[in-house]
Structure 1
Amino acid sequence: MTRATVIGAGVVGLCVATELVASGFDVTVYDPGHRPGPHACSWWAGGMLAPYCEGETAEEPVVRLGKEAADWWQAQGVPVTCNGTLVVTLQRDRKELDRFARRTEGHVALDADTLATFEPSLEGRFDRGLMFPEEAHVDPRAALNHLRDRLEANGVRFVAEKGRQEGLTFDCRGLAARDALQDLRGVKGEMVVLRSHDIQLSRPIRLLHPRYPLYVVPRPGGIFMLGATQLESDDKTRTVRSTLELLSAAYALHPAFGEAELLEIGVDARPAFPDNLPRVRKHGQTIYVNGLFRHGFLLSPAVARMAVKAAMGATDLEFMDENHS
C-alpha cells in the first residue's frame, strides 16, 4: 500500500485525504490544531454549494466543477440541504438583480407572490427575485468534523507534530504555504453569526448591493451566518466597519435581525492565486493543493480528485501546474 502524508486539515486537506483513502493509500494527516476549529480558515466558511451564483464573477471551471460538489458531499455522508439559493435586492438597486441575471444561468425569475411561497418570512419585502433551484448548502463545521471522524474510522492517522514523511506529500496549508508558493496571496473575509427565532429561512439568501453585498446562510437552531467581506489583505483584524456593513445589510434584508443575538464575529484570510483559481502543483514527491479562494467547499472535492490523479502520474488535469517554479 502506497503511503501518503497530508499537511493541513482544513477542507482541502480533509478532501484530499478522503480521496487518497478511496484510492487505496495509507494516509497520515499532519494537523497541529488537533480538531477542526476557529484556527482554520474553513471554520469561517458559509458552506454554500452555489456554482451558478458564483458564475457571476468566477471563471467557467468554477461553475462546471462546482456542480459536482453536492453529490460528493452527500456521498461522504454529510447532510446536504438542497433547497436552492434565493437572490434579492432592494428596490433602489433593481439594476443589480438584472445584471446578476445576465451574468448567471440556472435561475428562475420570481414575482413577489412566488417569492413569498418559498420564504414566507420575506413576504412583502421584495417585489421580485431569482431562484437557483439546483444549488445547495452544508453546515461547514459539521462537515469538517464528519470528514475527520470518517477518516479516523477508516484508519487515517492524525498527528500534531511532523515526523519523518514517507511516500508522497500533499501540502494543503493554505496561506502558510507561501514559503513555497510565491504567487499566493491572502483575501480577507469577515463574517458574523447570529441567532434569531423571529425569522425562518429555508435556503441561503443573497442580497445584492453595489457596495455591500450580503449572503445569509441558515443553520439549525435559529442560527444564521452572515458573510462576507472581501478585502485584498491577509490581515486578520476584526473591524468595526465591516461588522457594521454586514449587520446593516442583514437589517435591510429583514428588521428582525436587528433584535438577533450576536454570537460570533469571525475573520480569516483565504488563499488565492492571481486569477482566483486553484492550483495543483507537483514538485518531486510533494504535491501542493492550494488557492481555493472563497470556493473551498465548492471546489475542494474536484481539486482533491485532481491531486490524487496527479500523484498517479496524470499531467493533463484542469488545475495542474507542473512547470511553475
Structure 2
Amino acid sequence: MTIHVLGAGVAGLTTAFRLARAGREVVVHEAASALGGQAASWLAGGMLAPHCEAATADPSIVAPGLEGIAFWKEATDVEACGTLVLAGARDAGDLRQFAARTSGHETLDADAIAALEPDLAGRFRAGLFYRDECHLDPRRAMQSLARGIREAGGTILYASVAEAETFAGETVVDCRGLRSNAGDLRAVRGEMVLLRSREVALSRPVRLLHPRSPIYVVPREDGIFMVGATMIESDRSGPITLRSAVELLSAAYALHPAFAEAEVVETGAACRPAFPDNLPRVERQGRVVTFTGLFRHGFLLSPAFSAEAAAIAAEIEDAS
C-alpha cells in the first residue's frame, strides 16, 4: 500500500526520502505549486550547528544534530568548515556566556580569527570556533531530496491539497507544520535577507552576538550571503518588516562595513511550527503519524526525527 506524506518541507522530504530509499511506495502531497516558495524550509539558513544551537535550546539536540550531519552528507552537498562565533569588544561578556552554555568549541584570539577568515582580520579580539559543525544550502538540499525520492520510485504531487482523512485506511505521515493536526503548536515568525557582495568573502557561517539583534551570516555560492534570522512570537504572514530589515542589515554591517555596499537580492519571512519546549515530536494516532515542531532546527533535527517517523509508518504498513 501507499504511504502518503503530507507536506514537502524539510520534515516531509526527509521522511519520504527515507521511506522511498527503503523500498516503500511513497507519494508526497504538497499544497504549493512548486518546491519552496515562501516556506520556512526554503528560507532557512541551513546551519548544521548543534553545539551553537544548544546555547538557547535543550542540550538534547546536540547528539541527534551531530548524527544528522552524516545523513546530509549522503543526501546533498555539505560544507564541513565549522562555525565561528564572534562578539564586539564591548560584548565580551556575551561571548563568555555563550561559551559557558555550549561545548565543542575552541577559543580564538585575533590572529586565529584572521587565519580562519582573513576578511575579518583586525575586527574582533576573541571568538569561538565549533570545528565539528557544518552548513548546507537548504534549497539545493531540498532539490536533492526531491530528486532522490523520484529516483527511488516515489512521487511528489504539487498543488495537491490533502488531509489525513482523504486517505482513510492508508498510512499517512503529516508533516505540514502549522497546518498539521498536532495540538499545542505555536507560530514563530522568522525573517531573512539574501545579500550579494564581491567585497566580503567568508568560508563558514559566522554568528555575531550583537546586543540588539544577534545574527548569523551564511556564505553561499556566487557571493551570496544569507543573513538571518528574527524570532518573533507571531503567526502573521506577509513580507519582512522594515524593523527586521534594518536590524538584520545593521548587524551585517557591524560584522563587516563592506556589507553596506552589498546588493539586497531577496527578503523573506515565514512562520515556523514550535511546541512549548521548542523540540519536535513524532506522534501516532491510528494510521496517521504526525511529525512537526522543528522550530528553528529544521535541517539540524529532521534527519533524526524523520527516521523515527519513517520507522513508525513502515511498522504500520507491515502490520496491515
Q: TM-score range by the shorter chain?
A: over 0.9
Aligned to 1:183: 184
Q: What is the root-mean-square deviation of aligned Cα atoms in Å?
A: 1.4
Distance apart, 1:38 and its partner CA: 1.7
The sequence identity of aligned pairs, in percent, is 50
| Matches for 1:38-77 after TM superposition, within 5 Å | 38-76=37-75
Find the aligned partners of 2:304 and 2:138 in 1 and give their Cα distance.
17
Letter of the aligned partner of 1:278 in structure 2?
P
Letter of the aligned partner of 1:144 in structure 2?
M
Distance apart, 1:312 and its partner CA: 4.4
Aligned to 1:289: 291
How has the CA–CA distance of structure 1 residues 257 and 144 changed in structure 2, closer, same or farther, with 3 Å as cutoff? same
Aligned to 2:120: 122
Find the aligned partners of 2:177 and 2:185 in 1 and give their Cα distance.
9
Distance apart, 1:211 and its partner CA: 2.7
Aligned to 1:269: 271
Find the aligned partners of 2:102 and 2:275 in 1 and give their Cα distance.
23
Letter of the aligned partner of 1:82 in structure 2?
A
Aligned to 1:229: 230
* Residue deviations 1:125-156 (CA, integer Å, cap 9, x gap): 00110000000000000110111112112211
Q: What secondary structure, in the 3-state scheme, does the structure 1 residue paired with 2:62 have?
A: helix
The number of equivalent residue pairs is 310
Aligned to 2:2: 3
* Residue from 158, 169, 173 that aligns with 1:170: 173
Q: Aligned pair 1:247/2:249, yes or no?
A: yes
Q: What secondary structure, in the 3-state scheme, does the structure 1 residue paired with 2:42 have?
A: helix
Q: What secondary structure, in the 3-state scheme, does the structure 2 residue paired with 1:201 have?
A: coil
* Residue from 94, 103, 107 that aligns with 1:109: 107
Aligned to 2:36: 37
Aligned to 1:139: 137
Which segment drifts farther, 280-289 or 145-154? 145-154
Find the aligned partners of 1:52 and 1:240 in 2 and give their Cα distance.
31
Paired residues of 2:42 and 2:139 also in contact (CA < 8 A): yes
List structure 1 runs of 4+ shifted beyond 4 angstroms. none
Letter of the aligned partner of 2:198 in structure 1?
H
Aligned to 2:77: 79
| Structure 1 unpaired stretches of 5+ | 315-325
Aligned to 2:200: 199
Find the aligned partners of 1:148 and 1:25 in 2 and give their Cα distance.
15
How has the CA–CA distance of structure 1 residues 312 and 145 changed in structure 2, closer, same or farther, with 3 Å as cutoff? closer
Aligned to 1:217: 218
Which segment drifts farther, 154-163 or 224-233? 154-163
Paired residues of 1:89 and 1:126 also in contact (CA < 8 A): yes
TM-score, scaled to structure 2: 0.94
Distance apart, 1:313 and its partner CA: 4.6
Q: What secondary structure, in the 3-state scheme, does the structure 1 residue paired with 2:90 have?
A: helix
Find the aligned partners of 2:29 and 2:314 in 1 and give their Cα distance.
21
Q: Aligned pair 1:161/2:156, yes or no?
A: no
Q: What secondary structure, in the 3-state scheme, does the structure 2 residue paired with 1:29 have?
A: strand
Find the aligned partners of 2:95 and 2:199 in 1 and give their Cα distance.
27
Distance apart, 1:57 and its partner CA: 1.3
Find the aligned partners of 1:312 and 1:17 in 2 and give their Cα distance.
11
Letter of the aligned partner of 2:116 in structure 1?
F
Distance apart, 1:167 and its partner CA: 2.5
Letter of the aligned partner of 1:293 in structure 2?
F
How has the CA–CA distance of structure 1 residues 68 and 255 changed in structure 2, closer, same or farther, with 3 Å as cutoff? same
